[in-house]
Amino acid sequence: MIKRRLYYELQKYLNSKEALVITGMRQVGKTTLLKQIYDEIDSQNKLFLDLENTLTQQIFEEMNYDRIDIQLRKLVKSGKDDKCYLFLDEIQNVKNLPSVIKYLSDHYNYKFFLTGSVSFYLRNLFSESMTGRKFLFELSPLSFSEFLEFKRVKYTKPKLDETIDRTIFEMIQPLWQEYIECGAFPGVILSDSYRSKEAKLNEIFSSYFQKEVILFSDFRKNTIVRDLMILLLRRTGQKVNFSKLGSELGVSRITLNDYLSFLEGSFFIKLVRPFSRNKDVEIREMPKIYTVDSGLANILGKASFGSVFENAVFHELYIKKKGIEDIRFNLNYYQKKSGQEIDFVLNKETAIEVKETADYRDVERLKRLADKLELEESFAVSYNYSKDERIKYGFQL
């Protein structure tokens, strides 16, 4: 079975005392990854539990946490002092679970591996009860390199500093185009036909709405949240004017902000803030919105190809950060009052322009703007081929 990049990152922490928490949107492969780690652990004292199962949830609803330990060890068939490896899938389904995990970690010999899909819930509860006792990771839809592995394409992805000739470009471009248009959810990639990919994306959208928005939000008007989700898919890559969008949906700015916070906290969207040396400006200016997957934006949102392409580039840049939560990573955009814009500023060092057809003028304009902002490097990312060696392609990121 193909292993994700995060699988190898997690290897560093298998013997640590801390709980490993894997977050990410539904159907990005968290359960598969958890099972792969389970298979990796060389011990008989291990147990995998699905917390979407109501009978399994009942184990952790016991108020006496010592009895939970007894019940778990009966399932594992381990001694009282033996080290147990406990794998819990979809932990957001049990509200008191962080306190249970804290107690068991403090009083017994457990190593926890956990997954969950509602980030704000996990961060809030775990920050209260598990400070210093957990590492939090994020699993996203597949990178293009992982996409090639899933497609079983025996071709090494070109590096950013490599010169791409037309032969190489024409060999890899059809795969890159499929990645842009259909997205990077594992189940979509493994679907054979375009129709089955479309059906899978519809199922992912519906599952997210039913199992995240309806079950885990306390919004009174869930249909408005659904309408907002579709609007955001259509407008991926655009700046969010909170007042206008609120008026369009018939909700207040405060309510809209709650909706967006939930959608971001459950991994449906990412908000990209403006780049500025002044933090107050970042907070004040409008963010740009990107969706978790370019396939959703394309097939469900019917967004323009340019927007879908930019969303795919955003995804490639975003997943370059390591999985662990505290790694240094900043992704912003920049826009002058005159309208001049830099699509992405990566780690306050690199200016990146995204265009369907980039040429030398785009490269030179971007370089001038990057120099004024004291950014170390700059490059343009083009969808179409260019003879200019300074122009890069999304499949190199």
pLDDT (tens digit per residue) in 311-335: 999 999 998 764 445 456 789 999 9
- Going by pLDDT thresholds of 50, 70 and 90, the confidence category of residue 7 is very high
The least confident of 122-136, 137-151, 286-300, 366-380 is 122-136
The whole-number pLDDT of residue 96 equals: 85
The whole-number pLDDT of residue 139 equals: 94
End-to-end CA distance of the chain: 25
Q: At a CB cut-off of 8 Å and minimum separation 6, what does 328 contact?
A: 347
- pLDDT at position 146 over 50: yes
173-222 confidence digits (pLDDT tens): 999 999 999 999 999 999 999 999 999 999 999 999 998 899 888 888 89
Most confident of 73-87, 96-110, 303-317: 303-317
The least confident of 37-46, 55-64, 269-278 is 269-278
Work out the percent of the chain whose per-residue pLDDT is above 90: 76
- pLDDT at position 126 over 80: no
- Going by pLDDT thresholds of 50, 70 and 90, the confidence category of residue 129 is low
Q: Which CATH number fits domain 5-138: 3.40.50.1820, 3.40.50.10680, 3.40.50.1110, 3.40.50.300?
A: 3.40.50.300
The least confident of 121-125, 252-256, 355-359 is 121-125
- Burial status of residue 284 (CB atoms within 10 A of its CB: 0-12, 13-18, 19 or more): exposed
* Residue with token string 């775990």: 126
- pLDDT at position 127 over 80: no
Closest C-alpha to 11, from 104, 137, 118? 137
The whole-number pLDDT of residue 323 equals: 47
247-271 confidence digits (pLDDT tens): 999 999 999 999 999 999 899 999 9
The whole-number pLDDT of residue 280 equals: 55
Question: By the 8 A CB rule, do 227 and 249 touch?
Answer: yes
The whole-number pLDDT of residue 326 equals: 46
* Domain ranges, ordered by start, for the chain: 5-138, 144-326
| Average pLDDT score, the chain | 91
Question: How far apart, in Å, are the Cα atoms of 133 and each of 8, 61, 127, 128?
Answer: 21, 22, 9, 11
Q: At a CB cut-off of 8 Å and minimum separation 6, what does 44 contact?
A: 77, 78
CATH code for residues 144-326:
1.10.10.10
Question: By the 8 A CB rule, do 71 and 62 touch?
Answer: yes
- pLDDT at position 360 over 80: yes
The whole-number pLDDT of residue 131 equals: 64
Residue type, 21: V
The rounded distance, in Å, linking the Cα atoms of 38 and 118 is 22
